[in-house]
DNA sequence: TTGAAAGCGCTAACAC
DNA sequence: GTGTTAGCGCTTTCAA
């Protein structure tokens, strides 16, 4: 049974009010009383009960975090950023996972809401229709989205990159490398608005380059089956693309593995592009070509923004009513293209990549990191 | 301002006790009253305040989780396992990170303790000397270690694999592949008792095989610099080993990257073994040879064990005193060796691997996954 | 500078 | 079945 503030007060021969004041630095406390309290706290190993404190003070110093999955390192990175920032500000994280599912999002958010978190940082499947965001709005709880696309129908601050522009940049880069048959493998679009945005940008880039609409195949986020997707491509009218865009690095790595198992070389036979820029990608062989987004910083910025929101909320403008004219403070972070090993120039001398288990040995002459016209595209940070 | 139980009671025309009883399923409630309460709850969007509930009931339904870092996917996997199990049992996670540092562990544990978590699952740097575990013991809070070595001096349940045996198995496997110059790159031993155990087993295996003591180099966990470690090897008396054991997959992947950048081929020039079995490793090219531990299951088992502990704790044996004769219920999970692409037979025809940026092209004849005598070693689960 | 006292939202005796 | 009530540990007026 942990010591309570009353125990401390008794032992120090003061009132609980004095103990509270000293511990919170609110109001003056005499030096002798202070000393006695300090001693009592130490002797009793007193640790203020956060529950009692929260109940009375009506602020929990808890931040809720909800992400689709921990399996994708990109989310773990963001959480690391959030954690560091939150801790520095004296907040603790309450944590939930949604598995890319709207109903589970709702459940997770309810669970965090039950503990009266002071604010929340989350990634949802589809902001526009998210019941979880409805709950948050209705509760009037400050929250910030990360990774999600800014939702026109919601006034919720969002920290992300321009996924459409990034998707477009990938297409243009592929075209610049000489590719004409592009394709995309994406996680379930219903579970990820950003995947949808990346796809939209990608298609737009292809169209702008005068190419036919690239083939697109969806796979499951949790247990992606890239082999099936590749088969689907191969059995389509155009065969396997020479350049594949995967909606995230996780998927891209699995896809490269599948291609390799099929006896195809990357990027010799097929170029593969990922999205996220997870740290591991840079260590692959060949290094993963990808769109690098600053995940950790994204988490940190979201946390700082949220904390500002929460503290400003002491004098909340009006319960539930957002300032009519003001934008909700979106942060559009810069992304960069990493035009690394897994994406190379198209090889015209090579026959159309086939899925037959032919031993395709050639390695396209250990190319130096392709000098790309789009290399390290860098959008400067914008805040709206 | 969220609705309270009193609001609901008023609206339903019953007492708060009735509302509480209905919501918690404790005690009978008349059908008409029940209906009115249900309605009121729905209309008010009532969500019971977890703080109030915890304060009164003296159980928070919160589980604290503290890990060294989210940067290493192996911990994220374990947390995913914990989360799934905890959620199924109606618990929510309070989350902290220690950065492999004992002082930070202490801080993080204090933070979680402040919210009166019902129990805790954590990985510490060194169980024997961990101030965080001291706090936990002193608080009499049920807790379970994961990944850590079972500490002889502490009666704390631990879910892990036999790191010593695994380290030994790696050494024996390397020897079986013909390697004679072994080496190890490990994360800071002071920050990881399991790295130390893996090292001990590895050294033991080398010794048992009649080899001289392998060279060992420590690197930082957070920002490992494998290049420096490789240089250190190269400038040592024995030069670069032909087989390198890295204390985790993260490190192994970074090391392979460094070797490749140096113009050395893996496993042609140097075989590399990791530890953890993170999912990404299997998709690498070559696939990462590693010791696979069941991280997600590890988290799940730890959570189940903890929950059992917590509920049994209603009638705690005696505050602080562990049952004298009984073992604390360690779970030693099975590990398997994945003898994949990054570890191959030593190549005797090749000159001693050097660090000079000579263009070493040879790829050791695209070997099939070495048929290893130790393949898929499998210890059965033991519970002590 | 200090103390007394009133709750924060909830559960759990205890009465009826 | 249902209501009354006493706190859980804490912060915070309000007096002194």
Q: Residue range A201-230: average pLDDT?
A: 94
List pLDDT tens digits, range B69-105: 999 999 999 999 999 999 999 999 999 999 999 999 9
Closest of A123, A73, A66, A135 to residue A96, by C-alpha: A66
Residue A72 CB partners (closer than 8 Å, separation 6+): A221, A248, A250, A276, A278
pLDDT the model gives residue A381? 41
Q: Residue range A242-261: average pLDDT?
A: 94
Lowest-confidence region among A95-104, A326-335, B27-36: A326-335
Contact assessment for residue B100 and residue B125, using Cβ atoms and an 8 Å cutoff:
yes
Of all nucleotides in the shown strands, which has a C1' nearest the CA of B27?
D1
User: Partners of A187 in the beta sheet?
Assistant: A219
List pLDDT tens digits, range A102-161: 999 999 999 999 999 999 999 999 999 999 999 999 999 999 999 999 989 999 999 999
Contact assessment for residue B114 and residue A47, using Cβ atoms and an 8 Å cutoff:
yes
Strands B158-161 and B143-146: parallel
Cα–Cα distances in angstroms (integers) from residue A180 to residues A167, B69, B160, B318, in the given order: 16, 43, 51, 73
Of all nucleotides in the shown strands, which has a C1' nearest the CA of A17?
C3
pLDDT the model gives residue B358? 32
| Measured distance CA(A310)–CA(A83) in Å, rounded | 16
Is A280 in a helix, a strand, or coil? helix
Strands B289-292 and B336-338: antiparallel
| Measured distance CA(A254)–CA(A244) in Å, rounded | 12
pLDDT the model gives residue A364? 33
What percentage of chain B's residues is helix, strand, coil (to nearest 5)? 40, 15, 45
Res. A357: pLDDT tops 50: no
Whether A251 contacts chain B with CB within 8 A = no
Q: Residue range A211-219: average pLDDT?
A: 96
Contact assessment for residue B117 and residue B69, using Cβ atoms and an 8 Å cutoff:
no
At CA A268, angle to CA A262 and CA A273, rounded to 5? 85
Residue of B nearest to A342 (CA): B285
pLDDT the model gives residue A329? 81
Contact assessment for residue A300 and residue A307, using Cβ atoms and an 8 Å cutoff:
no
Of all nucleotides in the shown strands, which has a C1' nearest the CA of A55?
C8
DSSP string, B36-67: HHHHHHHHHT----HHHHHHHHS---EEEEEE
The answer to whether the beta carbon of residue B17 comes closer than 7 angstroms to any atom of strand D is yes
Residue of B nearest to A134 (CA): B45
Q: Which of residues 18-47 of B touch strand D (CB under 7 A)?
A: 18, 21, 27-30, 32-34
Give the residue nearest to nucleotide D13 (CA to C1'). Answer: A17
- Among A47, A250, A280, select the one facing B113 at the smallest CB separation: A47
Q: Residue range A212-221: average pLDDT?
A: 94
- Band (pLDDT 50/70/90 cuts) for residue A255 is very high
Task: Find the Å distance, CA of residue A10 to C1' of nucleotide C11.
Answer: 27
Residue A330, token pair as written in the block: 């979106």
| Measured distance CA(B115)–CA(A51) in Å, rounded | 6
Res. B251: pLDDT tops 60: yes
Residue B183, token pair as written in the block: 């080496």
Q: Do A279 and B71 touch (CB under 8 A)?
A: yes
pLDDT the model gives residue B365? 33
| Measured distance CA(A167)–CA(A79) in Å, rounded | 24
Whether A64 contacts chain B with CB within 8 A = no
Contact assessment for residue B176 and residue B372, using Cβ atoms and an 8 Å cutoff:
yes
pTM over 0.75: yes
Task: Find the Å distance, CA of residue B33 to C1' of nucleotide D2.
Answer: 10
Contact assessment for residue B180 and residue B346, using Cβ atoms and an 8 Å cutoff:
yes
DSSP string, A282-314: GGSSSPPEEEE--HHHHHHHHHHHHHHHHHHGG
HSE-CB at A347 with a 13 A cutoff on CA atoms is: 20
Which residue matches tokens 């850590």? Answer: B148
> How many beta-carbon pairs under 8 angstroms link A with B?
147
**Strand order in A289-292's β-sheet?**
A215-219, A182-187, A243-246, A271-276, A289-292, A336-338
Q: How far is A236 from chain B (nearest CA, A)?
A: 26
pLDDT the model gives residue B313? 60
Task: Find the Å distance, CA of residue B30 to C1' of nucleotide D1.
Answer: 6
- Band (pLDDT 50/70/90 cuts) for residue B222 is confident
**Residue numbers of A between 173 and 212 with CB closer than 8 Å to B:** none
Which is more confidently placed, B362 or B18? B18
**Mean pLDDT, all residues of chain B:** 88
User: Partners of B289 in the beta sheet?
Assistant: B273
Contact assessment for residue B211 and residue B179, using Cβ atoms and an 8 Å cutoff:
no
**Residue numbers of A between 42 and 61 with CB closer than 8 Å to B:** 45, 47-52, 54-55, 60
The answer to whether the beta carbon of residue A55 comes closer than 7 angstroms to any atom of strand C is yes
Which residue matches tokens 């939209």? Answer: A200
Which residue matches tokens 């696939």? Answer: B287
pLDDT the model gives residue A355? 53
Contact assessment for residue A274 and residue A288, using Cβ atoms and an 8 Å cutoff:
yes
List pLDDT tens digits, range A90-114: 999 999 999 999 999 999 999 999 9
Contact assessment for residue B275 and residue B247, using Cβ atoms and an 8 Å cutoff:
yes
């Amino acid at each position: 049974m942990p010591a309570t503030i009353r125990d401390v007060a008794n032992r120090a021969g003061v009132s609980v009010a004095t103990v509270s004041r000293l511990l919170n630095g609110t109001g003056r406390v005499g030096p002798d009383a202070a000393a006695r309290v300090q001693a009592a706290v130490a002797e009793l190993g007193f640790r203020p009960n956060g529950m009692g404190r929260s109940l009375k003070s009506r602020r929990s110093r808890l931040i809720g975090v909800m992400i689709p999955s921990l399996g994708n390192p990109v989310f773990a990175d963001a959480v690391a950023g959030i954690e560091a920032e939150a801790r520095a500000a004296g907040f603790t994280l309450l944590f939930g996972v949604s598995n890319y599912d709207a109903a589970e999002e709702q459940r997770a958010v309810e669970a965090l809401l039950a503990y009266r978190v002071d604010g929340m940082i989350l990634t949802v499947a589809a902001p526009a229709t998210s019941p979880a965001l409805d709950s948050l709005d209705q509760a009037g709880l400050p929250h910030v989205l990360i990774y999600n696309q800014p939702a026109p129908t919601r006034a919720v601050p969002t920290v992300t990159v321009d996924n459409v522009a990034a998707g477009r940049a990938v297409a243009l880069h592929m075209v610049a490398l000489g590719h004409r048959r592009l394709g995309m493998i994406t996680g379930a679009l219903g579970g990820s608005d950003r995947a949808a945005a990346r796809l939209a940008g990608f298609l737009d880039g292809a169209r702008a380059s005068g190419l036919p609409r690239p083939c697109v195949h969806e796979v499951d986020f949790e247990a992606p089956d890239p082999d099936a997707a590749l088969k689907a491509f191969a059995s389509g009218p155009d065969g396997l693309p020479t350049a594949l865009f995967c909606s995230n690095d996780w998927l891209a790595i699995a896809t490269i593995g599948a291609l390799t198992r099929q006896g195809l070389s990357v990027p010799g036979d097929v170029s593969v592009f990922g999205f996220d820029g997870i740290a591991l990608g840079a260590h692959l062989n060949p290094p993963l070509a990808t769109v690098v987004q600053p995940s950790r910083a994204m988490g940190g910025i979201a946390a700082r923004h949220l904390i500002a929101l929460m503290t400003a909320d002491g004098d909340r403008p009006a319960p539930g009513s957002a300032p009519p004219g003001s934008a909700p403070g979106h942060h559009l972070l810069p992304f960069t293209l990493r035009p690394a090993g897994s994406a190379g120039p198209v090889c015209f001398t090579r026959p159309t990549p086939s899925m037959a288990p032919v031993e395709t040995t050639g390695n396209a002459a250990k190319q130096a990191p392709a000098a790309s016209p789009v290399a390290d595209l860098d959008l400067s940070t914008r805040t709206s």
